[in-house]
A and B are shown apart, each in its own frame.
Chain A
């Protein structure tokens, strides 16, 4: 029993220590990876030891933040997310040393590792925080460290821009969260979470502020703008940690406060439900129109986070109308999707990192033909994509199935017709999102891995070193196991559900989902087909070229041309346009060169965030004009201040 607080402390203290050490001494990748692995194992033990019980650690008096004592709490809810953190950390640790070799001089070792340790430590801190002050400290450490990690490739202008964008988003989120915490503190006169709940009307403003903060961090529409910039710029292990775990930490926070804290504010729940649906659709719509592999994955994260918050809001909604079973199904779906997305998105980011490692590019227009040169990575990417597309029997399907179940159930159990119609409509949206996800990942795989290599770089790509393959293999098998074995693993979630004040369903909802049977029969059928029908080595010949002779690689579909039909349908939203440039002496009849450049515009950025930033810059500029350099003017300010102070001072105060 005495070991438990020990691992709790270690999971926060070890990374802090490592961060400082690696800042002072120039670290080497292998040693740091081992340290990260150790951290992952500690997290695993934290998850293990707090899976069924709550462990509380009150720090000694000298350890405090301001006036507030440090307090760590490990409970089943945090254990669940700790498990995710541990899994991804361990895989990233295995993956990192070899991967980072190819970034040699582009990153600063000290800063990378120092920030990485601060980042994972911050995440552990958020998960284990027992009161609001510890929470916000860990939250900020996590955010700032991850912003630094986005800046890893610091010579690139893009990394800089991404880091600043991200920092803005995350700091604004923190501001909202701080306001929420302060409101709650005044309401309950206590920083400890255990004293807080949101069932009372007076805590609704705080709930709204907190919710805004969390959804900014999680990347829900319309606050997702930072995400597609930040995730791709970071090195792949960081992207997978950010996308796989960090956004889940925001989800964890929402769970911690609103599900455990029993949020009863129905308007807020409606708003989150709507935003989550929009975000799922918006995310995948933009994902399919990307031509950069990691950016595509980042947008797909927006989609998945939308699904997660859909489940979260539905669960709150159901609980507010007293449908406990439904709430449980939605909560289960959402928790499973958190975990599933954490696994498969990490896998995808790691595979994308392998592509970057071998083909030195993440730009889909420069890739192609990797499946023959890197068959293992391709297989992992296909598996990860299938999980993301919710293809049974992978884990993505299980969680999405729960979400569908909860929506379907709410379509016949919620009290009013309007509520039911909304949920049924959400099923429609979800299915469209699912189909788009299939299209999106088919495109990503098709353009990046299949067909012919578009450049010599991707033509000369080699399979990645075994350690990187091993990391992917671990995640891939986790995706598979948590999918096929879902019904066996579900009972392990009952402590989390109980802790989240949810009922634990007695009947097995999964009974109508024979995933194991499906997997077995699929495997049998596949082996039968390969053994009986496709056993002969095929005759190799070139692709059909209409008799024109060897096909140029340019005749293959590009990322943009694949997505064009869908982009065209959504022209009003995407402002999709084509710039066609035909050149040649007689360009009408004998064009020598034709270039087509499609473009999409993110309306949020051009219509809302852009002008807002511009306005702020203007405001600052007009302030700067006050400081014009003339001493006479400055003296005049003194006089004006005097007059105002006297007038206000003697007249009012």
Chain B
């Protein structure tokens, strides 16, 4: 019962806070503190895994966490904690603490905490059924986050998000059933959805059914992860959600979906057909990276820009999965999450300040606020894999892995796409930074609104320049 309490106790407390605190300002601050405490709690829980003293932490037969998942849990929790910390500044500026909007804010916080729990659960599931349930739960809890602003656009985005992801997830359920069937008609009497069992009996699984299962789950969870052409909901949802929610969606949710794919890829690899994973994931990954980089060239919204950049990074992570390198997947995810969260958070500030999401309306940031400019600029470099940030180290590792396996077409495609996406993002960011400011509004709380993103950027910088990546391998 200990681990379970450690994982859910503080969020439960936070939930109580959300509804019992009279003042929403205090509530917001308290929740942020609790979430950071939760990070610490989870950290102590998974610490033995991180230092490789233990290989896995079993809570129940269907719930366990290994080293890789432990990294993801921590990343997710940090992402949520950081976003919710920044949310203090964001919602204060939004005027959400006014009386008539308080309820909305409380609902937002509730959903955010539930979302966190759902995402955490994804990494703990050792059972494909529960995995599916958790992933679906993330969709359900985050739909309300997207709809926070209650505008027409937010509604549209939320609807698309809910419907498309649900359809995708339905396919994932279909796929899960195929995998179940493959175990049933293969080796395991009565069938099993337990990951460990499936991996152990890998070679005995019935391959045609397993293959169908993999393809369906790739499609299903891929919809959730935003693989091209299933990504259609992603830019809408990311751009319409309030900044902290966009950050969580991009920095947390996408990892969850990819992690689900990674889990199933593990089974297929264990069944003795790694080429299926390799071919499917590499081609899907490469296509996604390339398509996203083309999308990036012509963008009109600041958050849509970063959303497409997320799609690109999803493609990269999928490629890492295809190359069969879990640690690389974590490394990419870590850097993407940190940089992208920083970007989304600071772009929220910028949107509030300039009053528009359109790239064309945002000009002369350098003159408006050097802090925001610095974060958005460094964040753009970090997220597009420019050295010396961590994403570069990860992408370089990915490319060298690809070259070592003589996948030259893939490598060339990735290099081209990375070049394009870097240029596209930097071009748009450069336009925002330069020129004369269009609005006269002065920036608010320059320090408070920058500290969280700046710390996240520092994380990727440290990852890029020190031997941190070795820790994952």
Contacts and interface: CB of A to CB of B under 8 A. Distances in A.
Nearest to B208: A650
A271 B279 CA distance: 38
A226 to B, nearest CB: 12
Contact of A65 (B223, B465, B473): B465
Contacts, number: 183
Interface in A349-372: none
B392 to A, nearest CB: 7
Interface residues of B, number: 73
A623 B467 contact: no
Interface in B414-428: 415-416, 418-419, 422-423, 426-427
A155 B434 contact: yes
Given A175-B416, A617-B298, A108 B403 contact: no
B248 interface: no
B394 interface: yes
B381 interface: yes
Contacts of A163: 430, 434
Interface stretch (B179-187, B212-220, B354-362): B212-220
Nearest to B276: A653
B212 A66 contact: no
B229 A641 contact: yes
Given A111-B370, A167-B426, A182-B399, A623 B433 contact: no
Interface in A596-638: 616-617, 619-621, 623-624, 626-627, 631, 633-635, 637-638
A619 B294 contact: yes
A624 to B, nearest CB: 5
A637 B388 contact: no
Interface stretch (A137-145, A410-418, A441-449, A572-580): A137-145
B142 interface: no
Contacts of A645: 215, 218-219, 280
Contacts of A435: none
Nearest to B405: A186
Contacts of A621: 298
B295 interface: yes
Nearest to A646: B215
25 contacts: A65-B393, A67-B470, A110-B374, A111-B373, A137-B387, A154-B367, A154-B435, A155-B364, A155-B367, A160-B434, A172-B419, A620-B298, A623-B291, A627-B295, A631-B163, A631-B164, A634-B232, A634-B233, A638-B168, A642-B219, A645-B218, A649-B280, A650-B211, A653-B275, A653-B279
Contacts of A174: 419
A501 to B, nearest CB: 28
Nearest to A176: B415
A645 B227 CA distance: 12
Interface in B209-259: 211-212, 215, 218-219, 223, 229-230, 232-233, 235
A641 B280 CA distance: 12
B315 interface: no
Contact of B467 (A62, A620, A641, A652): A62
B167 interface: yes
B366 interface: yes
Contacts of B396: 65-66, 133, 136, 178
Interface in B146-173: 159-160, 163-164, 167-168, 171
Interface string A58-69: 000111111101
Contacts of B280: 645, 649, 653
Contact of A641 (B219, B427, B470): B219
Contact of A640 (B223, B229, B416, B422): B229
A526 interface: no
Q: 7 closest Cβ contacts across the A-B interface?
A: A66-B393, A620-B297, A137-B387, A634-B232, A154-B434, A64-B467, A182-B403
B397 interface: yes
Interface in A63-94: 63-67, 69
Given A154-B435, A634-B232, A63 B427 contact: no
Nearest to A133: B396
Give the interface residue-count category, chain A: 35 or more
Interface string A163-180: 110011001101100110
Nearest to B436: A155
B464 interface: yes
A171 B430 CA distance: 15
A633 B230 CA distance: 11
Interface in A179-199: 179, 182-183, 185-186
A159 interface: yes
A652 B279 CA distance: 10
Contacts of A550: none
Contacts of B404: 185-186
B366 A63 contact: no
Contacts of A631: 159-160, 163-164
B103 interface: no
B295 A140 contact: no
A151 interface: yes
A458 to B, nearest CB: 27
Contacts of B377: 148
A16 to B, nearest CB: 9
B386 interface: yes
A372 to B, nearest CB: 37
Contact of A620 (B295, B397, B415): B295
A637 B160 CA distance: 13
Contacts of A144: 381, 386
Per DSSP, chain A at the interface is helix
Nearest to A69: B467
Contacts of A626: 229
A66 B431 CA distance: 31
Contacts of B441: none
B449 to A, nearest CB: 15
Interface string A227-269: 0000000000000000000000000000000000000000000
B469 interface: yes
Nearest to B419: A175
Contacts of A63: 465-467
A14 interface: no
B101 interface: no
A35 interface: no
Given A64-B466, A155-B367, 17 more contacts: A62-B467, A64-B469, A66-B393, A66-B394, A67-B470, A140-B388, A154-B435, A155-B434, A157-B435, A160-B435, A175-B418, A179-B411, A620-B297, A624-B295, A624-B298, A649-B215, A650-B208
Interface in B377-401: 377, 381, 386-388, 392-394, 396-397, 399-400
A108 B211 contact: no
Interface string B302-321: 00000000000000000000
B232 A65 contact: no
B367 A186 contact: no
Contacts of A179: 411-412, 415
B402 to A, nearest CB: 8
B223 A638 contact: yes
Contact of B419 (A62, A157, A171): A171
A64 B393 CA distance: 9
A23 interface: yes
Contact of A160 (B211, B223, B430): B430
Contacts of B279: 652-653
Contacts of A148: 377
B406 interface: yes
A627 B426 CA distance: 22
Contacts of B229: 626, 637, 640-641
Given A179-B411, A624-B295, A154 B235 contact: no
Contact of A154 (B211, B298, B364, B473): B364
A140 to B, nearest CB: 4
A620 B370 contact: no
A638 B164 contact: yes
A640 B223 CA distance: 13
B263 to A, nearest CB: 18
B348 to A, nearest CB: 22
